[in-house]
Amino acid sequence: MAGDRFATAVALRADLDAGRVSSLTLVEAALARAEAAAGLGAFVHLQPERAHADAIESDQRRARGDLRSPLDGIPVAIKDLMVQLGEPCTCASRILEGFVAPYQGTAAAKLREAGAVIVGRTNMDEFAMGSSNEHSIYGVARNPWDPARTPGGSSGGSAAAVAAGIVPIAFGSDTGGSIRQPASHCGVVGMKPSYGRVSRYGLVAFASSLDQIGPFARTASDCALALAAIAGHDAADSTSLPEAVPDYAAALNGDVSGLVIGLPREYFAEGADPAVVECVREAVAELERAGAKTREVSLPHTSYAIATYYLIATAEASSNLARYDGVRFGRRAQARTLGEMYRRTRSEGFGAEVKRRILLGTYVLSAGYYDAYYRKAMQVRTLLRRDFEEAFRGCDLIATPTAPEVAFRIGEKTADPLKMYLSDIYTVSANLAGIPGLSLPCGFVNGLPVGLQLLGRALDEATLLRVADAYQRRTSWHEQHPTPSWERPT
Amino acid sequence: MSARLQPHANYEVVIGLEVHVHLRTDSKLFSPAPVRYGDPPNHDTHPIDLGMPGVLPVLNRRVVELGVRAALATHCKVHPQSIFARKNYFYPDLPKGYQISQYEDPLATGGWLEIDVAGYDAPVRVGLTRIHIEEDAGKSIHDTAIAGEAGSHVDLNRAGVPLLEIVSEPDLRSPEEAAAYLRKLRELLRWADVSDADMEKGQFRCDANLSLRRHGATELGTRTELKNLNSFRFVEEALYAEIARQAELLDGGGRVVQATMHYEPARRTTRVMRLKENADDYRYFPDPDLLPLRIADADIEAVRRALPELPDDRRARFESEYALSEYDARLLTESRALADFYEAAATESSAPKVVANWMLRDVLAQLKERECEIDATQLTPIALAKLIALVENGRVTAASARPLVAALIEHGGDPEALVRERGLEAVSDTGMLESAADEAIAAHPDIAAQIRGGDPKGLNFLMGQVMKRTQGKANPKAVREILARKLEA
Amino acid sequence: MSYVATMARINPAEVERIADLARLELAPDEVERMTAELEAILGYVAALEQLDTTGVEPTLFARLVATPMRDDVAAPPLDPEAAVANAPERSGSAFVVPKVLEEDES
């Protein structure tokens, strides 16, 4: 085995450079850990052949002194909705059973260009719809800190894979908190970049105007490397931002002095677990001790964010998921007529949560309701966007809890969809406003990790990474790891 | 203006047309797949056209240029911002389960074009409601000979091909006007290089909305929609069939129900394809994968500058520059190819008006007979101009020259050589003409006497007699001189 | 966050109509459950009604710049074999679907 399972990508790179380990060894170890962790349900598909070949190529590049990036040879995992040429992509849905992608997604292409080795695909809520990773045809993913609890969702598998030390870096997608919330619950760093910073070409769409791919890592510095690998303009995505990508790693100077951190009063009002809020306040205090300033700010439309989010996200989803019809790919139900084929394929292929959201979205867009719901939501979205613009006039970044509570138990919220939706309360606004958000571990409540969320101005990922890194230089929460109790004895 | 056609004694017919036209591009609207016709199923697709999970659209710039061009050619206002919206419905040849189209904010609105209808003294102006950009769907093949009994085949080669939808106001009052509108629109789109508009390839497709109302009524009647009228002949036939159906309903005290109709050419009847009672709920919303389409004034002006001279402008110029009548100018501008041909021949010639006469009298008749376009023949403008020059110079008579037009259209060649080969050179041999004239005078002494008596009316008749005696090869000018001399009062 | 109770906004017939639009088939008990759940969610989102948005421009797009355009250059198409490789049913390079029957045309 290759040393410390919790070694960071930065540390592994040093090992690789020093010849202490090969990429092939790292990749084999990651694959072995993934297999041993089957009970965690973090992965839905491993790709050993491709990973081995990629690792060998990386080792050859290293031998030639021809490295592609700091991630060259590092094993990574991707969420099962990121398209990779020639590999399955099911979005944890029955309806995409057997689908093998005939084209390369941009994020996968960029990871290959960076030399990173994709070892497998991670579990998720079906079509990224969920906050607990309980809505997956592959079964639940479990929280490495307590396997009776969810890792959060929808990118639960990616968060769990990183928290469990299977891979140092994984990628997920965040539509309303699907990276930040599981990062919080699993005690890792997770970042949703600004809308348009990472290409969505090859990201299976949930809600097109909100979706972003982003990284999970155990440290802010690994997160910076991972983001750098996938960020940048892509002509294949009309919503991609043309602005140049800054050197994120270079921004990590440990200095936060003079930065003004806004504390939105609406996010610290009632609703959150006081113990969680306490951890977050203490983290902010630590940043103050490091030289940052704080001030209260207001995001007055916060209480409308969840409603706005669910109207927009489900409307877009109802249309985005119309292509799953059993005609060109995926699973088709037995049927005698065309109408029957559509209804049965979609009814058997989609899980309950997906159907619920398709129904809601269809309703919201349907004749007579469009103005009352969809158009209204789009107007409130404007107000939410303005809230942040206003707030950022008085601060450089905003700090909040990532989630109102620590990881909940599997099954605890499945009976009440609305209750589940409310667990995204602190995260959805960033998606609606298109701004970057990052969650990093800032303590524990009852042995379960708590996340601090940092929100920044559009395209200011560097500041969030810098602050997160500065915090990690002064604290050791990120160095605490779960005991691999999930591993099967071999 | 003379009265417009009234196809029905009791009812006024109200027709509006929706035309879908493929744009002349190399690649599709939102994907780089090639636009080709006649390939085997699914040979011209990109994952974007197949609606694969995770794909995204990127707009083809050429489509916007051609759309603006079409809008300017039809006097529409191009909007500085238009928005792509998703039209959601399920069908196997619609891969994404939605069509990317434009809905509330189309590319252009509020234009018009003028149509010429046989028997009308003046053109009719037809309003254009809007022009928008959208993607075509694929094709479902239900033909059991191909797809078998149990299933249908789906071919997505056409999926994503760029379309303009051009919607007219309900300004048309007869099937004839509808057909004239379609001809004019198609010619205009071809003229402006927007589309090849080949109906057989499905590049120019028409749906019609038709309703009847009592003459003099101001409220519109309930309309039906006729789908996919894919030839000019069908358009008129189908509209007449639907007029008859609706009139019969109304005459019998019944009412027209809103429906989508299908025309059955074999039985010359229309049949209800689908009732519209449950209005389609397409759940349009702005496509979040695309951003607003913005077109700068400067870009619109650049397209305007690059626009070829359009038929109406060209007609006006032909009238003033070549002294043509409005009627002649209109005929010569029916297609860009014809107008270009005429202008090239007129420029070669010293007598543009004469060239026009030849075009209208001889060339168009030949084209009509052959059912072909001018640019599909062997005739060149230079050859026509040369032929006319030979006539004008008296080298060949008009009567001898006329049959040569057919030969030049068929085989091309040099008119002068052709005249020589066929021995058609005009007879200016005075001795021969003198004797032919004497013969003609001798044969018709009464007419000769009339002329001598100061009434020249019979001169042309005698000329014709001389021409006849020389197999039409006599130089008319010479003949006229000889006759005049011989019949001096 | 306040939970605004409002009148029922959706009934089983409406859920069935929406399901039909979305090509979903719901068993009777599913219709009942979905109606209740959607009613709760719609009741919650009704909070937006309290907010006066008169004159507020809707954020129709995540970014307010012009959509980019690409040049009209055709690329080689997808290999037809790859195009239909995932098809549940195919015939040569065509996708095959069950026949449209009259009953489907709603």
- Closest residue in A to C65 (Cα) is A239
Of all residues in chain C, the one with the smallest CA distance to A430 is C62
pLDDT at position B477 is: 80
Longest Cα–Cα distance of chain C, Å, equals 58
B105 to chain C: which residues are within 8 Å by CB? none
pLDDT, tens only, A60-89: 999 999 999 999 999 999 999 999 999 999
- Residue B365 has, within 13 A of its CA and on its CB side, a CA count of 9
Question: Does B102 have pLDDT greater than 80?
Answer: yes
Q: With an 8 Å Cβ cutoff, are B90 and C105 in contact? A: no
CA angle, residues A405, A407, A408, in degrees to nearest 5: 90
φ/ψ of B448, rounded to 5, equals: -60, -40
pLDDT attached to residue B421: 87
Sequence-ordered strand ranges (E) for B84-182: 84-88, 98-102, 108-115, 124-135, 139-141, 151-155, 162-168
Do A209 and C62 lie within an 8 Å CB cutoff? Answer: yes
Residues B167, B128 contacting (CB under 8 angstroms): yes
A209: which 2 tokens? Answer: 């105007």
Q: How many other C-beta atoms can be found within 10 angstroms of the C-beta atom of residue A234?
A: 23
What tens digit of pLDDT does each residue of A428-459 get? Answer: 999 999 999 999 999 999 999 999 999 999 99
- Choose the closest CB to C100 out of B152, B278, B281: B152
At B31 the pLDDT is: 98
Distances from the Cα of A418 to the Cαs of A366, A410, B58, C27, in angstroms?
22, 16, 36, 22
Interface of C with B in 5-34 (CB under 8 A): 21, 23
pLDDT band at C4 (very low <50, low <70, confident <90, very high): very low
pLDDT higher than threshold 90 for residue B144:
no
C78 with B40: Cβ contact below 8 A: no
Closest to A42 (Cα-Cα) out of A167, A229, A193 = A167
SS (H, E, C) B172-187: ECCHHHHHHHHHHHHH
Structure tokens at C96: 């095959």
Give, as one character, the DSSP assignment of residue A64: H
Nearest CA of chain C to the CA of A336: how many Å?
A: 6
Mean local confidence (pLDDT), B275-292: 86
Q: Which residues of A are catalytic?
A: 79, 154, 178
User: Does residue B225 surpass a pLDDT of 60?
Assistant: yes
- A141 min Cα distance to partner chain C (Å): 25
Q: Choose, out of B90, B99, B284, the residue to mutate when testing the contact with A (most A CBs < 10 Å).
A: B90
Sheet strands (E) in B193-309: 204-214, 224-226, 259-264, 269-275, 285-286, 293-294
pLDDT, tens digit, 9 for 90 and up, residues A309-345: 999 999 999 999 999 999 999 999 999 999 999 999 9
pLDDT at B278: 56
Identity of residue B81:
Q
**Res C5 pLDDT > 60:** no
Q: Do A375 and C58 touch (CB under 8 A)?
A: yes
Nearest CA in chain C to A322: C22
Residue C75 Cα, gap to closest chain B Cα (Å): 5
Does B58 sit within 8 Å of A204, measured CB to CB? no
Structure tokens at A139: 């079964």
Q: Are A347 and C101 a contacting pair at CB < 8 A?
A: no
CB contact under 8 A, C60 and B286: yes
Distance (Å, whole) CA A165 – CA A26: 12
C82 touches chain A (CB under 8 A): yes
What residues form DSSP beta bridges with B225? B209, B260
What's the gap in Å between the CA of C91 and the closest CA on chain B? 8
Tens digits of per-residue pLDDT, B302-357? 999 999 999 889 999 999 999 999 889 988 998 899 999 999 999 998 889 999 99
What would the mean pLDDT of A166-190 be, rounded to a whole number? 98
Contact flag C18-A359 (C-beta cutoff 8 Å):
yes
pLDDT (tens digit per residue) in C48-97: 998 999 999 999 876 668 999 999 999 999 999 999 999 999 999 999 99
Average model confidence (pLDDT) across chain B: 92
Q: pLDDT per residue over A204-226, tens digit each?
A: 999 999 999 999 999 999 999 99
- Chains contacting C (3+ CB pairs below 8 angstroms): A, B
Contacts of A358 in chain C (CB under 8 A): 22, 24
Alpha helices in A187-219 (DSSP H): none
Residues in chain B: 489
Q: Tell me the angle at which helices B336-348 and B311-322 cross, rounded to the nearest 10 degrees.
A: 20
- Cβ neighbours for A19, distance < 8 A, ≥ 6 positions apart: none
